[in-house]
Amino acid sequence: MAMVACRECAKAVSDRAEHCPHCGFKLIATTSWGFGKVLVASILILGLVTCIGRLSEPPTKPSTKTTEETKADIDNTARYACKGFIEKSLHDYRSADLSAWTSATVTQPFGSTAVYEVAMQVRAKNAFNATRLSTMTCGLLRNGDNWTLTGLSQAGK
Ligand SMILES: [Zn+2]
């Protein structure tokens, strides 16, 4: 396992990591030829044609702003969908504290852009009326703007 620099924040990440643990940037493209790759290829070809000397300098930080924002948007939608499903599942969601939902961890366990896992911290009353902090994990299936709950699990003390 080698460490490489994240293309977005330049911090060291595993070359097998799907997402940068520091900034969440998606490191492994699941679509065959994304905008970023085409851009990098264009820069390389342009550099080769115009100035071979410049090839020694790697292209710095390709503009992947659009892709990154889209991914962040999707992650946030996943968090929001999970929050909604958790509220529905809770006995008394009004007494539950889901304010940490914005920092929930979003993963794509199968590397698929359709399957998401969202883990968020929830403070809620249990059946015995005791407030417990637990991590609730939503399994989500994304189909465009539609999010389906495939599983909801809870790990707590
Ligand atoms: Zn990063």
List Cα–Cα distances, 102 to 23, 34, 50, 98, 107, in angstroms: 14, 27, 46, 9, 14
Q: Residue 59 has what DSSP assignment?
A: P
pLDDT score at 69: 55
- Give the integer Cα–Cα distance in Å for 57 and 53: 8
Taking only the tens place, the pLDDT of each residue in 44-73 is 667 766 655 555 666 566 555 555 558 889
pLDDT at residue 24 above 80? yes
Kindly give the distance from the C-alpha atom of residue 87 to the centroid of ligand 1, in angstroms, as a whole number.
32
List the structure tokens of 92.
Answer: 């008394």
Hey, is 119 helix, strand or coil?
A: strand
Look at 92 and 12; give whichever has higher pLDDT: 12
Give CB contacts under 8 A, 24+ apart, made by 10-15: none
- Give the integer Cα–Cα distance in Å for 133 and 38: 46
Kindly give the distance from the C-alpha atom of residue 55 to the centroid of ligand 1, in angstroms, as a whole number.
24
Residues with CB in 5 Å of ion ligand 1: 6, 8-9, 20, 22-23, 25
pLDDT at residue 146 above 70? yes
pLDDT score at 96: 87
pTM: 0.53
Give the amino acid at 39: L
Look at 32 and 12; give whichever has higher pLDDT: 12
Nearest to 140 by CA among 127, 130, 153, 129: 153
Kindly give the distance from the C-alpha atom of residue 93 to the centroid of ligand 1, in angstroms, as a whole number.
35
pLDDT score at 55: 53
H or E stretch covering 71: helix 65-89
List the structure tokens of 99.
Answer: 């304010």
